[in-house]
Chains A and B, each alone.
Chain A
Amino acid sequence: MSKVVVVKYIGDQRNRPLTQSEYEMLLKAALHTLYGQSDLVAVRRYLPGGTVGMKTNCLAHRLNSTPLALADALTAILVGAGFKEKDVVVWERSNRELASAGFTLNVSGAGRRCLGTDASVIGYSEDFYGSGEVNSLVSRILTEIVDVNVNVPVLKDHSVAGLSAGMKNMYGAINNPNKYHGNNCDPYCAQVNSLEPIKSKNRLTVIDAVRVQYNGGPGYAEDYLAYYNGLVISDDPVAADRIGLEILEHLRAINSQPTLERAGRPVRYLASAEKLGLGMADIKKIELRVIMIDKNGRESAGELLE
């Protein structure tokens, strides 16, 4: 069984972006539940090494990218767990994408690092990594700079893959993602995630599902946005995405959109990922915990789809 924690903010009735402190409340509750540890210092045990990456998804710029408030909250928690702030590395494909999503680029050695693979002296690995039909160079941020990585995507519809969450976000870690969109990204998305540096260093997935682009993704389409007000967190990248898919399909259904299967973009790559041993795609093999949190931080049990 794999454990997935969904944590939802029920602080007020108004749908809106969350603040850093609200994200921190959600993250602390989710990590306590995921790891079964009351002290967040224990997080360090699950994220071994001195340098931790935070792979964002900034494709849609400020309109629908990994929120700065979430990255700041996660940074605060990682620092609280014992990482030095300068050893937290927020990263993406390019400096331009990070900046356009509101991040401040920084490689000065003071404070949290933030840079794209296209930053000077970074680039891609010297050698190819292969899995099945995928052969790619991998960002040196992942292969040479960070010891472990936290994948911090946004939950959204994808015009080809169907689902864009954690696994699809790792297309941003390779040099040739354009080559692997055929057949609704199946089995390519699974194979990208089984490339050795990605498989071995991705230790935690934190999917931002506060505001979800349930159709018209991966770019921004304002007609198809819905608030779910939650995060999906797991150390199993496949299981996290599987629960993300449940949320996405739910939001599509209540907004009169067909299932992704009927829309012509079935999400088959999750099953392929399970076959590759990356995690659990079968929902019967996933232990799901749903936590609701009010504005005072009080927790209560909740339902995934309500």
Chain B
Amino acid sequence: MKRRTFMTCLGCGAAAAVATQTGLFPPVINSLQNAFALGEPKELSSMEARHYKKLPAGGIECGICPRHCQVTDLERGYCGSRENQGDVYRTLVYGKPCSLNIDPIEKKPFFHFYPGTQALSLATAGCNVNCKFCQNWEISQSRPEQTENIDLSPQAVVDLAVQRKTPNIAYTYSEPTIFYEYMYDIAEAGHKHGLRSVMVTGGYIEQEPLRLLIPHLDAIKVDLKSIREDYYKTIVNGELKPVLDRLVQMKSSGIWLEIVTLVVPTLNDTDAEFRDLASWVKVNLGADVPLHFSQFYPQYLLKNLPPTPQATLEKAYAIARSEGMQYVYLGNLPGHPAESTYCPKCKAMLIERKGYRITQQNLVGNHCPKCQQEIPGRF
């Protein structure tokens, strides 16, 4: 779908066709009837948000993420998906996904979490950071009235996953922290039906909401975008330290955790940064946490940069392995050997991947078939 048709409420395909063929207003608008051209007003959610407090002088302070937006009446937080309405903070995206697909779990990516299974994957509009490289900016950097949304209650999501026989539900594409209430309720309902929930996040979430959410989740993938605070400030528009704190919190909770770093040429691709990142993960989370380095492709506000060279990713792989990380992967390089899982002890091929497809699955339970080494994960 073209960005324009995605971003605007066109009402119906015919309107889009008219716009494309004949150019814009005033000729098109002249030919349209009022009711048709103006479209139906977009109904947003008015569910009260969780994790906020009312301020003594009026307004509210959001507590869902470290940004702690203070928001007065009729204004929104940084994410654009929560609005103060008479000093009641409301989520505008509850039950209003703008993206819904069935993906392989490897696409998230999770490589040690039920490999080969499918995930009903969904997102709403909005994000609490603004990464210059965002691959999904058309939804993450939009407000909910700017996206095409469907009505889908938490129970309807669960019913759909059951109907489509997808054992996982993934909160992904944008930043699920900003649709926390929706995610929480789906995950809770999903568990009652034996469905697993996985969160794909930047990890920029406050401690308490995360603590309450984790029991309803089964795995979390965190985009650790860099190990440098200035990168978070200038490229991500966020902060590194809260993300590191949440990673430690996640790991200590026992939930399954994988980490991805998008390697952006000239911005976070030095040997020292790869070393520092791998070293931090090993020391603070453990050598057995899967660490993925992904190839950047020019998008959004960084169209001036080239795709990450394969050699750079291979360098990141080599450095992370030399730092002692046991499960290092390269992403967006279909067919590369570093997409596959190997036994850290005997080097046997355990899971062979080609892109998102699994071509060999040699694990026996969660053990290497040759040396009986236990492989961490959920298999």
Contact = CB atoms under 8 A, between A and B. Distances in A.
Contacts of A220: 73
Interface string B17-44: 0110000111011111110111101100
Contacts of B8: 118, 120-124
A12 interface: no
B9 A178 contact: no
Contacts of A122: 8, 25
A258 to B, nearest CB: 12
A247 to B, nearest CB: 21
B331 interface: no
B340 to A, nearest CB: 38
A188 to B, nearest CB: 12
B146 A175 contact: yes
A280 B25 CA distance: 34
B26 A145 contact: yes
A121 B24 contact: yes
Contact of B58 (A106, A135, A216): A216
Interface residues of A, number: 44
A107 B34 CA distance: 6
B16 A121 contact: yes
A119 B80 contact: no
Contacts of B59: 159
Given A109-B26, A118-B146, A219-B73, A124 B37 contact: no
Contacts of B75: 159-160, 181, 218-219
Interface in B192-244: 237
Interface of A: 51, 59-60, 86-87, 94-96, 105-109, 113, 115, 118-124, 126, 128, 130, 135, 137, 140, 144-145, 159-160, 175-176, 178-179, 181-182, 216-221
Given A121-B16, A144-B25, A179 B130 contact: yes
Contacts of B145: 94, 118
Interface of B: 3-4, 7-11, 15-16, 18-19, 24-26, 28-34, 36-39, 41-42, 58-59, 70, 72-80, 130, 141-143, 145-146, 237, 301
Contacts of A108: 33-34
Contacts of A182: 78
B15 to A, nearest CB: 5
Contacts of A219: 72-75
Nearest to A125: B4
A119 B37 contact: yes
Nearest to A95: B38
Given A105-B34, A135-B301, A175 B143 contact: yes
B3 A126 contact: yes
Contacts of B301: 128, 130, 135
